[in-house]
């Protein structure tokens, strides 16, 4: 019966009927309180509705019922981050990469957390692991560029940003990083041109972004 309610919740989500999806996900966890997938779905829906405390609690139950599931750990990290519980988020990310050492996204997220904590060496190591797992992960190249900028390693920062753009030519943030490199070198005309490209790409992204699902 739980699977029936899980599929029902997914159908409601596809139709952007988020409140109905939440009701169905609650029925799923009621029917199968030990089903990690049901708790993960419920957490995701609660987060969509801005119910961050409830989403974190559901994510933690998902991880509790599937302790070897890296995706459940990543969900805890996401929900903890939304609640500004940074230490809990970091612990969940570390657990995720230990469970799935070949998962580039988990290493990327851990690197981003370390960068925000100004642990630049740790961030660089995590982004390097992400790129070892997936050399085509543009966001890791971009954030590696940020680390190198913070360390004053301009040539390496430029190289990493260009690697990101080789993979994703319309990546606005990589153009921002190149603009920062140009600024650090005193190349104002180049900086302005790169920032203009970044703004144009960001405007296109904003125009094309899908509307947030409604709560109907």
User: Which domains are delineated in the chain?
Assistant: 102-208 (1.25.40.10)
Q: Is the pLDDT of residue 15 over 60?
A: yes
Q: Distance between CA 56 and CA 70 in Å, rounded?
A: 16
Q: Is the pLDDT of residue 207 over 90?
A: no
- Which residue's entry shows tokens 């030519």? 169
Average pLDDT, the chain: 93
Selection from 8, 75, 10, 78 nearest residue 36 by Cα = 75
> In the prediction, which pLDDT does 52 show?
96
Helix, strand, coil % over all residues of the chain, rounded to 5: 80, 0, 20
- Burial code of 17-42, b = ≥16 C-beta within 10 A, e = fewer? bbebbbbbbbbbbeebeebbbbbbbb
Q: Distance between CA 207 and CA 199 in Å, rounded?
A: 12
Q: Distance between CA 51 and CA 67 in Å, rounded?
A: 24
Q: Distance between CA 133 and CA 96 in Å, rounded?
A: 14
Reported pTM: 0.83
Q: Distance between CA 7 and CA 155 in Å, rounded?
A: 50
Percent of the chain with pLDDT over 70: 96
What single DSSP character describes residue 212? P
Higher pLDDT, 80 or 205: 80
Q: Across the chain, where does the E strand assignment appear?
A: none
Confidence of residue 215 (pLDDT cuts 50, 70, 90): very low
Confidence of residue 202 (pLDDT cuts 50, 70, 90): confident
Q: Distance between CA 216 and CA 210 in Å, rounded?
A: 17
Contact residues for 175 (Cβ-Cβ < 8 A; gap 6+): 161, 165, 194, 195, 197, 198, 201
Q: Is the pLDDT of residue 36 over 90?
A: yes
Confidence of residue 206 (pLDDT cuts 50, 70, 90): confident
């Amino acid at each position: 019966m739980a699977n029936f309610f899980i599929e029902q919740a997914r159908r409601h989500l596809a139709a952007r009927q988020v409140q109905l999806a939440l009701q169905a996900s609650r029925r799923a966890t009621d029917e199968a309180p030990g089903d990690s997938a049901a708790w993960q779905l419920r957490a995701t829906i609660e987060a969509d509705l801005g119910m961050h405390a409830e989403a974190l609690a559901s994510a933690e139950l998902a991880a509790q019922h599937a302790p070897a599931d890296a995706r459940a750990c990543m969900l805890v990290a996401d929900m903890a981050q939304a609640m500004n519980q940074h230490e809990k988020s970091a612990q969940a990310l570390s657990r995720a990469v230990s469970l799935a050492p070949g998962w580039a996204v988990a290493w990327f997220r851990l690197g981003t957390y370390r960068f925000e904590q100004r642990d630049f060496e740790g961030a660089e190591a995590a982004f390097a692991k992400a790129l070892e797992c997936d050399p085509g992960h543009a966001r890791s190249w971009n954030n590696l560029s940020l680390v190198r900028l913070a360390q004053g390693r301009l040539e390496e920062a430029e190289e990493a940003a260009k690697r990101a753009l080789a993979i994703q030519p319309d990546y606005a943030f990589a153009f921002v990083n190149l603009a920062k490199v140009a600024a650090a070198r005193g190349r104002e005309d180049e900086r302005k041109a790169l920032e203009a490209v970044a703004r144009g790409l960001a405007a296109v992204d904003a125009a094309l972004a899908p509307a947030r699902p409604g709560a109907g």
